[in-house]
Amino acid sequence: MKYGKTERISGIVILLALLAIIVPWLMSDPAPREERPQPNFVIEQPVEVERRDVDPPQRPESIGDPAEQVDPSVAAQATDEPLEVDPASPNTDQLTSNDDGASDEAPASEQSDPIADLIASNSQPVSDTPEEQPADDQAESVSQANSAGEWAVQVGSFGNPDNARRLSEQLSGEGFAVYQRDRDNDMTTVYVGPFATSEEGEAAMSDVKQRANVQGLLVRVRE
């Protein structure tokens, strides 16, 4: 009880001091915010420009009037005089060259088409195929074909000679000149041909594909 009254007085004094500090702060107005500057739009008056009247363009004195430059007497004389025109002589050299070109084109058009000849040779009767020829004649034709050129169509390589023989007989039955060669690796290669040019070999390769359904390869053969 001795210290109770003093402590109460101290507490009251502290509360009053706090109230004296806080209450004015709470009751005071908040600080005003800074106002942002507003844009100002000022429309200026249009600038006056002095206008001047421009004179219309004048024709230079050195040119003058086109109608006055022509002398009427000279114009009448020019119209009265007949116009002499030399007829152009025909170009006989050009006509001759054209006639020669036409005569040269005529025999060229009469030449036979190699594709048409190949189709005609393939469409011959079966009696003309080497199947009905004697074996000696067929062997002779094959030997002659082998010495005709250095291009041939390789249609297959077989380790079994019987398979190579059967393919050769099949292609011979279709009318192709076929021959075989033994290679160093115990393989037997079957060729169709040979042919003098690669163009003939390509034509025969496509013909073998169409007629015998055998895909060949155009190669250059050497003895």
pLDDT tens figures, 131-170: 444 434 443 444 444 455 788 888 888 888 888 888 888 8
Pair type for strands 217-220 and 178-182: unpaired
User: Averaged over 198-221, what is the pLDDT?
Assistant: 84
Number of domain units in the chain: 1
Tokens of 23: 């209450």
User: Averaged over 96-103, what is the pLDDT?
Assistant: 48
* pLDDT surpassing 80 at residue 73: no
190 part of a folded domain = yes
User: Averaged over 37-61, what is the pLDDT?
Assistant: 79
Tokens of 129: 């195929």
Task: Please answer whether residues 119 and 165 qualify as being in contact, where contact means their C-beta atoms are separated by less than 8 angstroms.
Answer: no
Helices (H), the chain: 4-27, 66-69, 72-80, 92-110, 114-122, 135-146, 161-173, 198-212
161 part of a folded domain = yes
User: Averaged over 193-216, what is the pLDDT?
Assistant: 84
Of the listed ranges 37-51, 86-100, 104-118, the least confidently predicted one is 86-100
69 part of a folded domain = no
9 part of a folded domain = no
Q: For the whole model, what pTM was predicted?
A: 0.34
217's enclosing H/E stretch is: strand 217-220
More confident residue, 149 or 189: 189
Percent of the chain exceeding pLDDT 70 equals 58
210 part of a folded domain = yes
Of the listed ranges 88-97, 158-167, 182-191, 203-212, the least confidently predicted one is 88-97
187 part of a folded domain = yes
Q: Which CATH number belongs to the domain containing residue 221 in this structure?
A: 3.30.70.1070
Query: Which residue in 179, 198, 182 sits closest to 190, CA to CA?
Result: 179
Cα separation, 71 vs 185, whole angstroms:
106
What domain range includes position 177? 149-223
Query: Which residue in 172, 184, 92, 83 sits closest to 135, CA to CA?
Result: 172
Tokens of 28: 């005071």
Query: Which residue in 187, 124, 198 sits closest to 161, CA to CA?
Result: 187
114 part of a folded domain = no
Cis ω for the linkage preceding 60 (within 30 of 0): no
66 part of a folded domain = no
